[in-house]
Amino acid sequence: MEAAELPQRGGGGGGGAPRRERRAWGPVPAVTLAKGLQVSKVIRGAWQLSGRHRGDPATDRTSGGEAVADMPVFHRAGVTTIDTADNYGPSEALIGQYLRLHPWQAASTTVATKLSYLTAEEMSGVNRTLVEYAVRSSLVRLGRQRLDLVQLQWADPEGHRKWADVLKWLAELREEGLIGHLGLCNFGVKHMTKAAELRLGLAAASYGIKLLAYGTVAGGLLADRYYNMPAAKARLDTASKQKYALLLKEAGGSGPGGGWGWMQEVLEATRAVAERHSVSASAVATAWVLAQPQVAAAIVGARNARHIRDMQAACGLVLDDGDMLDLDAVWEGVPNPPTSDVYVWERGGAW
């Protein structure tokens, strides 16, 4: 994926993080996502373990033994849930190594994985046998008897309608004990409500559906070090940064400075709140997402354990009315807000 060409905002180099007093935060708490399913309020996103997020070699701990060695550190900090997928490269296998090496932690670790159908061939050719094979393959890689949570990821729910059949087959596998809970990934309102009407026990207010929000720090771009940094100097050296740079470019529209200029406004607002609470801009951004109705937990990808303190701070931080007004205002000021349903633009549709 090519790096997006981002419009520049005038100004100097990176702003860096303001000096703050260090504060001890407690472990990340657990929340109930559905009956019988608890997750940590901040979930570690494991797309970073797919092989496409190595970035700066000096801080890269996304592969092999280093990736496995970091996992107990997250668990001790309260980040006891990992979000992965069957198409995240070696991610499931690395998590499985961790679970086998640390059986005591494994007992209190929740793994949310995804069953992914991303091509026309996969979506049209799927059948129950292939679905069961995919589920059992994830079980083998993770070394588990049951998958805690399986989320269906389907590239084109409008053009390829067999996703409803896949959900029914997954529900049957849940009844057989291979799956604990079912969910959806990147489904819009229309198809999410249709799935709920199928009465498959899927955990959006009117249906009682709870959301796991990702992208809370824009793939790492919503961080202190990018404040006042010209777009040309930003290294888009991971798949996440490249993805969210494209989203920012679209959101910026024809506004002053484009998407990068608007991100600087977001960083200015989050840093002002961060100063008041002695935390980072990233922690404020995640705390704001966690404060939204129906958001049960935030998925935050991490290339190494250095992000744990921000994860804990996001859960411990209480945003007051003034903080929320400031953050809501900058969010509502996006130059080109999306008007389509969830994930329509990513599938090639309208913004």
Of the candidate CATH numbers 3.20.20.100, 3.40.950.10, 3.40.50.1970, 2.40.30.20, the domain formed by 30-338 belongs to 3.20.20.100
The secondary element (H helix, E strand) that includes residue 113 is strand 110-117
Yes or no: say if 266 and 331 are a contact pair by the CB < 8 Å rule: yes
The half-sphere exposure of 82 on its side-chain side, counting CA atoms within 13 A, is 31
Nearest to 211 by CA among 24, 6, 31: 31
Yes or no: say if 78 and 312 are a contact pair by the CB < 8 Å rule: yes
Nearest to 144 by CA among 203, 184, 210, 84: 84
Q: How far apart are CA 47 and CA 87, in angstroms?
A: 9
Which residue ranges make up each domain of the chain?
Answer: 30-338
State the Cα angle at 78 between 324 and 184, rounded to 5°: 70
Q: Tens-digit pLDDT profile for the chain (351 aa)?
A: 333 333 343 444 455 555 555 677 899 999 999 999 999 999 999 999 998 888 888 888 988 999 999 999 999 999 999 999 999 999 999 999 999 999 999 999 999 999 999 999 999 999 999 999 999 999 999 999 999 999 999 999 888 989 999 999 999 999 999 999 999 999 888 888 777 766 555 555 567 788 999 999 999 999 999 999 999 999 999 999 999 999 999 998 876 778 999 999 999 999 999 999 999 999 999 999 999 988 999 999 999 999 999 999 999 999 999 999 999 999 999 999 888 888 888 888 899
Residues 311-321: b if buried by 16+ CB within 10 A, e if exposed: bbbbbbbebee
Helical segments of the chain, H only: 64-76, 91-101, 103-106, 120-125, 128-142, 163-175, 189-197, 239-252, 258-277, 281-290, 308-316, 321-332
In sequence order, which residues have a C-beta less than 8 Å from that of residue 25 and are 6 or more positions away?
309, 312, 313, 315, 316
Yes or no: say if 210 and 203 are a contact pair by the CB < 8 Å rule: yes
Q: How many Cβ atoms are within 10 Å of 168's Cβ, its own excluded?
A: 14
Tokens of 102: 């640390």
